[in-house]
Amino acid sequence: MSDKPKLLIAESEGFSEKAFALLETMFDVDAQDLCRKELLKNVALYDYLWVRLRNMIDAEVLSVATRLKAVATNTTGLNHLDLDAAADRGIAVLSLRGEVDFLREIRATAEHTIGLCLAQLRGIPDAHRHCMNGHWDRNQFRGHEIYQSTVGIIGYGRLGAITASYFQALGANVIVHSAGLSEGDVMDGFPVVTLDQVFERSDIVSLHVNGAPENHGMIGERQFRIAKPNCLFINTARGELVDQQALCHALEAGWIAGAALDVIANEQEMRGIEPRLLNLSPQQVVMTPHVGGNTYESLDRTEVFLAEKLIALVR
C-alpha cells in the first residue's frame, strides 16, 4: 500500500499526460470522472482534490471531505468553490488566479470570443445547417464585418486586454470600460469610457469581468435599452454578471441584434439553459457550453503549471 498522500482527480477526461506523470511522483493518484453524487460518496478517502468546473465544491462536499488538505483547480474563476467553507476547514485552494505572468500565454478564451463574434456576425452556424440540408443559397447569409466597427470591451484585465488587441488587429475601433479606470483615460491606446457609453456607442460589446459577487447583475435592462439596435453582446466571462431575463427581453424586443454566449448563470447547479434563450432564433443567439478555455494547449499548460504548484505545496 502506498504511503503517498492520495489525490483524486475528479474530472480526468483529457487530463494532461505530462501533468499526470508529475503528480504521480508525489501522490497516489486516482483519476476519475465523477458526478456530484459520486464525489460526495468518495471524497472522504482523499487528502487532495483536483477539479475543473463540473462540480460545485461547496460546504456539503467539504464537510464530508474529512481528510482534505487542499483543492486544486486550473481555473482563474473560483465561483465553483465555496472559499469561505474551505477557509473554515483549513483547506487550501490552489488556482490560476493572480498568476499574471503565466496567464499572459493562456489565450484560448480570447480566441473563442473572436470565434463567437464571427459565428454570429456571419451567421456561420445557420449557414452550416443550410448546407448540410443540401442547400447552397449564399443570398440568405449576408453578414457583417468586424472591420471599422466599434467594439466595447468591459473589463480590461488580462483577457479583456488580449481580446481588445485581437479586435484591433481585425481593424475595429476599440473602447474600454473597467473598474479602476476613469472616463477620459487611455489604456494601450484605447479610450476609456463609461459603462453606458460602451452600450451607446458599440456595435459589439464583449464582457470580460471577473465573477465576484459584487459584479453579479452588472449588465441589465438599463444597458440593453440604451444599446445600438445592431449591437452584438458577447459573454465569455460568467453568466451571473448578466441579468438573464433582461438579456432575453432585449433580444425578443429587438433592443439588441444578437448575443453570443459561452456562459450561463448557475452552471454548477445544473438548472439548465434559460428556456427563453432556447426559444430564440439562431440569428439572435449563438451558444457554446463554457468551452472558451477548453483547448488541448491551454489545458496542458495550466495543468502542468498547477501540478508543479501543488507538488511545491506538499513538499
Burial class (CB in 10 A: 0-12, 13-18, 19+), 131: exposed
* H or E stretch covering 198: helix 195-201
Output DSSP code: residue 57. B
Residue 238: active-site member: yes
Q: Which of 274, 290, 301, 303 is catalytic?
A: 290
Residue 67: active-site member: no
Listed as own residue / partner, the contacts of 158-163 with beta carbons closer than 8 Å and 24 or more positions apart are: 158/100, 158/103, 158/104, 159/109, 159/110, 159/113, 159/208, 159/236, 159/237, 160/206, 160/208, 161/187, 161/188, 162/107, 162/110, 163/110, 163/113, 163/114, 163/206, 163/208
Q: Which of 269, 271, 297, 308 is catalytic?
A: 269
Sign of the torsion formed by the C-alpha atoms of 220, 256, 145 and 184: negative
Residue 183: active-site member: no
Residue found by looking up cell 463574434 in the block: 117
Q: Which of 201, 238, 267, 301 is catalytic?
A: 238
Catalytic positions are 238, 269, 290
